[in-house]
Structure 1
């Protein structure tokens, strides 16, 4: 290939986005896109930023549909809708492999986006039939390394990847220590999803939601031990001694700890008069709820990323969240708002007082700016394209 033709070919990038799961009740592509909003917005952002994109989706019928410049290939097979870890969808893989071969034959850089680190058999089977020049980028979705025989199988399977996308590079450390990710496999920090929520006028939002307080704290997350709502409630009680006008509103889906949460609130007059359990809310209502709040709080001990925190940042809600890897990445190393030690209610109260003693306006503007530059769909698409291109050029034997 002459230099000019070579440069033209390597400037083109085609992402083959692979998705194994679908819900049995889905009947159309519209159902898929409404349910898998993150996937839909991710691939559209990639297309907007200049990459060619083909989505291969297992489904209960065959169809090829174009939406917004993105090609969706629905593939019917006999495997379970929620693919089990030992099932290898051969016909689906062959279709992906054939398309990847056609892309590579045109001299275009090709990369397969593979979701999840818990499908080692499928990853190896896919790699075996891909053309040598097609790279595989595996995206982390909160999984943790397996142990024992499963761990060894996982290690073997992940050896087929060219590189990995993690919402926070720190989250890859356990995988590196366990030998699941080798030194020749680069890790790229790319948030796994984003939001279309944006900052709105606080007075208007509060008029819509009826949310009041000085200041207003917001929890959006499941009531489970991993997110530790009880630590937040105990810390909030301490906050009320100095900020009696503060109010905490809690939005949640899973109610595993709801009895304990209610009991904790009922134990003191301070909490019972200052905490409102909003319960589940339609996602469309959350934008106004976020924009009614001053501070966003969570007590998570572990997260694979942080969708609710991302939504809060987009709306200019100042975070007071736990000091864990994913939240450090999402708060610019804790420079936006404040971080606190998981499980330590006193540390939560101290972090809140630290954050609230500084200019709320400055932190809110910093949150929105960081979101736009690093966490919006446009920003993560650009980061992903950089990673894809790097991996594809290395796989093709070219210098990035």
Structure 2
């Protein structure tokens, strides 16, 4: 990219990281990597600065990545600063500073004071919560920020009510893969080893707010109907709450139906193979009680996987209020079973056409090209 062609310079900041290798960063931070790459393709100079366990600089797909070891733990505490990170940001004189997450009010306050209005500042919501003791700092920070990015209007309205945010600060975006990764199911299943009729997918962390126990109960209720006795549910769990994982596996082990119809995949799949696993499924199920962006569902949809998801605002937006897939009331296993039954009976007889419809919907409404 020629210097004269550059429209502006954006620096993305990520303050929490996983204790993995730098190469694995590009496997787990897929949405943020795609977001940066999508901007770089539009003649924007993009720099990603991430706190990390080691210091390193990498150039990849037109984006410069700086990994910063500031000597603190992987998840910066809400009251901590990272001056090493902040100093690097301002050494670059960016036009826009983009911080991922609301979790770090004290760091953000320090960043704003040091910025002194020189760079535009954007804050992006990721299903965050702020401790009550630090809300006064957050409220002051929000007044000084230029834009706050939300996935949907409902989330924006909720935060606006809590912190008196004016609507001219709101912006909306859904981070997803840059384009569709649709492939033939037969080819994909040769790679993944998935089998079933139909095949269901869980593609999310195993944490309380994703409500996996309700999902597994609803799936068991669906199996009990006996309409699709060869159904199989693959739960891809890259991260988990170990206590919740134990509870989940005990619930599966106690049920003959679930033991034969549920497989758990804990290891994170390489980025160059993950699309094959998504493309191996017919349906993706989510039980999220809240979700900032719905990454796992949107990524599966990019491969034409039909969503069966809770009726939270994020999923209503992603699915066009149920235009594709099925919606069910969060926390209600019985209604999940009904939603699976209804969605499968409506779509499975023409599953190839339905998969293409979801993939096309993704390209038109959710992909980087659509934004």
TM-score between both structures, scaled by the size of structure 1: 0.77
1:173 aligns with 2:125: no
Please, which moves more after superposition, 32-41 or 367-376?
32-41
Match of 2:357 in 1: 366
Say which one has the larger Rg: 1
Distance 2:91 2:250 in 1: 58
**Change over 3 Å in CA distance of 1:52–1:362 after alignment to 2:** same
Alignment of 1:245-324 (within 5 A): 245-253=229-237, 254=240, 255-273=242-260, 275-284=261-270, 285-324=273-312
Contact 1:123 1:158 in 2 (8 A): no
Following superposition, the deviation at residue 227 of structure 1 comes to: 2.4
Q: Secondary structure at the match of 2:92?
A: helix
**Change over 3 Å in CA distance of 1:161–1:267 after alignment to 2:** same
Q: Secondary structure at the match of 2:128?
A: coil
1:115 aligns with 2:115: no
1:127 aligns with 2:127: no
Q: Secondary structure at the match of 2:263?
A: strand
Match of 2:135 in 1: 151
Contact 1:16 1:111 in 2 (8 A): yes
Contact 1:296 1:320 in 2 (8 A): yes
Residue-by-residue CA offset, 1:239-259 (whole Å, 9 max, x unaligned): 232513341323243253344
Distance 1:66 1:212 in 2: 39
Following superposition, the deviation at residue 185 of structure 1 comes to: 4.5
Please, which moves more after superposition, 260-269 or 216-225?
260-269
Alignment of 1:356-395 (within 5 A): 356-359=344-347, 360-379=351-370, 383=371
Q: Secondary structure at the match of 1:127?
A: helix
Q: Secondary structure at the match of 1:277?
A: strand
1:49 aligns with 2:32: no
Contact 2:38 2:178 in 1 (8 A): no
Distance 1:234 1:67 in 2: 43
Tell me the number of residue pairs that the alignment of Structure 1 and Structure 2 aligns.
Answer: 359
Match of 1:352 in 2: 340
Q: Secondary structure at the match of 1:357?
A: helix
Please, which of 181, 186, 192 is the counterpart of residue 198 of structure 1? 181
TM-score between both structures, scaled by the size of structure 2: 0.82
Distance 2:194 2:52 in 1: 42
Match of 1:187 in 2: 170
Distance 2:354 2:262 in 1: 25
Match of 1:39 in 2: 32
> Any unmatched runs of 5+ in structure 2?
none
RMSD, matched Cα: 3.2
Following superposition, the deviation at residue 208 of structure 1 comes to: 3.6
> Any unmatched runs of 5+ in structure 1?
1-8, 104-109, 384-400
1:85 aligns with 2:71: no
Please, which moves more after superposition, 318-327 or 370-379?
370-379
